[in-house]
């Protein structure tokens, strides 16, 4: 039986090009910035049922395209920025009805680095309230839908960007990841999603104030080369001298790697059969390609899950308690969603554990690094089970149930956020209902290069499905 899908690929100036190909066409003059901008606007309008766009900036994008004053590798390529990043002249809504709609007075330093690559910003993409959950479902607006199956979640928290890239509305879009928020929607929507090493890109203003900055920014793409080219170009405008450079990567590496395979989580939760099959099939493919794959385990304390949850809840408490100070665009605590309020209460009941929690999470990098004394890369699922239907993690679910479901679903992603290490989601599996299944490659601190080279190799061996091809 055919599934209720939605894509907007068509024979226009965007075609089926990824961001890299489109940038080349723009540079050669075979298409104009105005043509691709109008095509992307038309596609975004046709993709409206996905509920992935929160704020449109079409008029400004048209003006910029007319002037064609773009510079950078992706000059003129249409894109979106997640709606938790400040853009001058647009409000920042954070996916919450509690936020005021006053336009921001300045553009975030992270957005400046992003736009320096030449992207033409068409608007802002959706997220659940403050990015606190793994499905882009909001209490006050319609949920963001998965274009592969409209009844299912697009993941979160960068769900709007993922849905619109997968559907073909734009070739590339911004996301950020504080517990899996790039990798989870990439897995749900059949995309490439790299969570980079802590500090690889410029640090958001809010991240500088956190006791442990667990958030990394990046992109959702349909091809490995788009992700690789984005990070290569990002190093031109900002280079963290404490990290080895990624540099330009354009294909697989020659070195054969020792890869550790972990299918079940440190929390002891079993991985569903379909996800397990996808990860094990990837392990076999890597072995067939000449890599050495052994069963392994990431050595993190059993209390890690509790510590990370408490940290996450602490962030929700800060929002609830200090929202009027944190958000100059306006804040109404009475409009906060049930999950944010529930997490804030959770923290209040346990706040005395904060010093111990911070101490343990700061040790995560060392614990995580021990794995890589034996392995070059770790292969794991992105998520413990296949993408759920909308409502499974929605705001109508009671707090305790939602929390239990969320912790089990996302058990594989937070370790990289606490440790600050890189990980990439690749669309290498397929569920029985046709939805994508993501497979995760985890790397050493600062070693995005190895992950991207391996991702290129896997993409060549098993080309990724595109929605208009199924």
Active-site residues, by number, are 82, 157, 181
Cβ-proximal residues to 302 (8 Å cutoff; 6+ apart), any chain: 266, 267
* CA–CA distance, 415 with 364 (Å, rounded to integer): 8
Tokens for 441, please give them: 């490659």
Tokens for 92, please give them: 């920042």
Q: Pairing mode, if any, of strands 78-82 and 145-146?
A: unpaired
Helices assigned H by DSSP within 267-398: 273-288, 304-326, 338-348, 354-362, 364-371
DSSP single-letter state for residue 389: B
Q: Is the peptide bond before 325 cis (omega within 30 degrees of 0)?
A: no
Task: Please answer whether residues 230 and 79 qualify as being in contact, where contact means their C-beta atoms are separated by less than 8 angstroms.
Answer: no
Rounded to a whole number of angstroms, the distance between the first and last alpha carbons of the chain is 13
> What burial class does residue 452 get, using C-beta atoms within 10 Å of its C-beta: 0-12 exposed, 13-18 middle, 19+ buried?
buried
Task: Please answer whether residues 188 and 146 qualify as being in contact, where contact means their C-beta atoms are separated by less than 8 angstroms.
Answer: yes
> What burial class does residue 89 get, using C-beta atoms within 10 Å of its C-beta: 0-12 exposed, 13-18 middle, 19+ buried?
exposed
* CA–CA distance, 6 with 375 (Å, rounded to integer): 40
* CA–CA distance, 446 with 420 (Å, rounded to integer): 9
C-alpha angle 306-309-315 in degrees, rounded to nearest 5: 145
Tokens for 341, please give them: 């309020």
């Amino acid at each position: 039986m055919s599934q209720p899908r939605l894509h907007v690929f068509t024979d226009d100036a965007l075609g089926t090009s990824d961001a890299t190909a489109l940038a080349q066409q723009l540079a050669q003059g075979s298409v104009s910035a105005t043509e691709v901008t109008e095509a992307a606007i038309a596609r975004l309008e046709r993709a409206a049922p996905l509920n992935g766009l929160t704020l449109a900036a079409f008029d400004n994008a048209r003006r910029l395209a007319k002037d064609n004053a773009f510079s950078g590798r992706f000059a003129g390529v249409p894109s979106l920025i997640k709606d938790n990043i400040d853009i001058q002249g647009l409000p920042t809504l954070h996916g919450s009805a509690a936020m005021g709609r006053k336009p921001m007075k300045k553009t975030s330093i992270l957005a400046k680095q992003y736009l320096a690559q030449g992207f033409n910003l068409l608007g802002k993409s959706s997220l659940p309230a403050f990015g606190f959950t793994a499905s882009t479902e909001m209490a006050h607006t319609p949920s963001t839908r998965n274009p592969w199956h409209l009844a299912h979640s697009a993941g979160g928290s960068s769900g709007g960007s993922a849905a619109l890239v997968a559907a073909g509305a734009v070739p590339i879009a911004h996301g950020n990841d504080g517990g899996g928020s790039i990798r989870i929607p990439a897995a749900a929507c059949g995309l490439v999603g790299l969570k980079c090493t802590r500090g690889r890109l410029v640090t958001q203003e809010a991240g500088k104030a956190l006791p442990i900055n667990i958030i990394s920014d990046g992109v959702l793409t349909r091809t490995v080369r788009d992700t690789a080219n984005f990070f290569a170009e990002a190093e031109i405008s900002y280079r963290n001298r404490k990290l080895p450079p990624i540099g330009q990567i354009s294909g697989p590496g020659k070195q054969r790697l020792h890869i550790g395979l972990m299918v079940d989580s440190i929390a002891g939760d079993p991985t569903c059969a379909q996800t397990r099959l996808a990860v094990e099939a990837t392990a076999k493919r890597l072995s067939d390609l000449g890599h050495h794959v052994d069963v392994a385990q990431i050595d993190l304390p059993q209390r890690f899950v509790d510590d990370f949850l408490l940290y996450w809840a602490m962030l929700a408490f800060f929002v609830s308690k200090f929202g009027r100070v944190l958000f100059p665009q306006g804040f109404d605590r009475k409009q906060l969603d049930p999950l944010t309020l529930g997490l804030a209460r959770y923290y209040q009941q346990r706040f005395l554990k904060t010093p111990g929690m911070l101490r343990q999470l700061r040790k995560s990098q060392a614990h995580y690094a021990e794995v890589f004394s034996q392995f070059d890369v770790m292969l794991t699922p992105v998520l413990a089970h296949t993408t759920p239907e909308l409502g499974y993690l929605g705001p109508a679910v009671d707090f305790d149930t939602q929390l239990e479901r969320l912790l089990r679903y996302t058990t594989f992603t937070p370790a990289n956020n606490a440790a600050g290490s890189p990980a990439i989601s690749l669309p290498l599996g397929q569920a029985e209902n046709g939805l994508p299944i993501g497979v995760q490659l985890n790397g050493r601190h600062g070693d995005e290069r190895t992950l991207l080279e391996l991702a290129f190799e896997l993409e060549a061996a098993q080309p990724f499905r595109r929605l208009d091809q199924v």
